[in-house]
Amino acid sequence: MPCTTLLVGKNASNDGSTMIARTDDGHFDVKKLIVVNPKKQPKKYKCVLSHLQIELPDNPMRYTACPSVDPKDGIWAATGINEANVGMTATETITSNARVLSADPLVKYQEAKGRRGKAVPGGIGEEDIVVLVLPYIRSAREGVLRLASLLEKYGTYESNGIAFNDEKEIWWMETIGGHHWMARRVPDDRCVLMPNQFGMDGFDLEDAFGDGKENLCSKDLKEFIAKNCLDLNQNGRFNPRDIFGSRRDMDHIYNTPRAWFMGRYLAPDSHTWEGEHAEFTPESDHLPWSLVPDRKVTVEDVKYLLSSHYQGTAYNPYSNRDTGKRGMYRSIGINRTGVTSVCQIRTGVPEEIKGIEWICFGSTTFDALLPIYPNTEKIPNYLSNVTLDVSTENFYWSSRLLGALADHNYATSIQNIERYQDAVAIRGRQILREYDEKMMQSGDFTLTKEANEKLCAMAQEETTKILNKVLLDASTHMKNGFHLADN
């Protein structure tokens, strides 16, 4: 699924938290936020798309998930935080190349042929991965190891990147062909920029085949590379992106510009991003997988980046200046996003409230990011009771309506949109502060339910107000408008 991922190490964030964030960009997928309690976790998991059946462990933990409301194609849980304060987002669809995929083919479902033929199940994929992994892991590293065991046993039918975080660290994992994989611990002082391409541009093989402190991979990865003549690197340098990734013209339109915009925002002084002497351009093949930001990164920065439409550049599709370049690159904030999440694991607070899941639905350019305490038995109806039919009674459809109304009147609506986004951010943080303090003083962490209800009531209030404004604005700009004085 075309998505954009941003990872923020604990020393790169303003409050010492780790953050993993991703836009889940399907095809207008209707999504919701729920809690999956252990009794609801299946004992035997059935993949809808690949027809694979997998026995699951007996000891699942409670976790949040953002599944599709319509289950016809599977769960597609997307992202969540479990009760051990481990976050996960899956998956970022990434690129590969013919050399890799011919050597280790993707494991795709094969229909039965003939009257006596038997169907052959496929591997696991984005539909399944969160449900198969998140309920059973107690650290980010454990997430890599559990998913690795599943990939090696069952394979996958697509190329994906997956992120895990806990209070101390973030791990990023990328699949290689049908059964191989590699993973890196994100340096604490860095941010990772991932725009639907194989991302890692460096890897310590010695560590991976030794102590495995910050690098992990398939046990036969060296042999796999050598046997299939995959290594394109010169002078002893090892760049996984050159080996396992792509170098297509389409990357320069669809993928690399997104990493360029994020890097330009995060490190404007450390690197040159524009002009005759630019180190990196929107079409550079060597954009860094990670970088040290010039200043500490906040949740609001993450939201801004994942809402990007190249504002402040010649590529902004909403610009009123005819630059000849408007809309030429794929934006991060696009129309068909289902859900965007930031899984934040905090430090300096009790275990029960370390996790905060920030959620928004629809096009990130126009929607607001709402914080929720994931350590709870149930998510309020405004986020969880989402229908397949349009309704203003839930956050998903209200956000979709907001984007569709505001997009066509961007110039006149954006000021009200930004005020709405600020209002939800400010009031959301105020409620978090209020309930953090209440719970730390009282020791009553069941107050997460009350806090979430208050957060959702606030979001519904602010979203209703902005819908009133953008609907009026859109109505006044209808093409059939006419007044008596227009004669």
What are the residue numbers of the active site? 3
Instruction: Enumerate the β-bridge partners of residue 20.
Output: 7, 343
Query: Residue by residue, what is the 3-state secondary structure of 235-304?
Result: CCCCCHHHHHCCCCCCHHHHCHHHHHHHHHHHCCCCCCCCCCCCCCCCCCCCCCCEECCCCCECHHHHHH
Q: In terms of Cα–Cα distance, which of 374, 364, 398 is closest to 23?
A: 364
Q: Calculate ∠ Cα 158-163-168, nearest 5°.
A: 160
DSSP 8-state symbol, 343: E
216 vs 202: CA distance, rounded Å: 13
Q: How far is CA 296 from CA 195, 345, 366, 424, in A?
A: 22, 16, 25, 22
DSSP reduced 3-state for 48: coil
357 vs 345: CA distance, rounded Å: 9
Q: In terms of Cα–Cα distance, which of 318, 272, 449 is closest to 375?
A: 449
Contacts of 257 (CB under 8 A, 6+ apart): 195, 282, 283, 310, 315, 329, 330
What phi and psi values does residue 68 have, to the nearest 5 degrees? -70, 140
Q: Calculate ∠ Cα 359-144-256, nearest 5°.
A: 60
Q: In terms of Cα–Cα distance, which of 273, 288, 264 is closest to 201?
A: 288
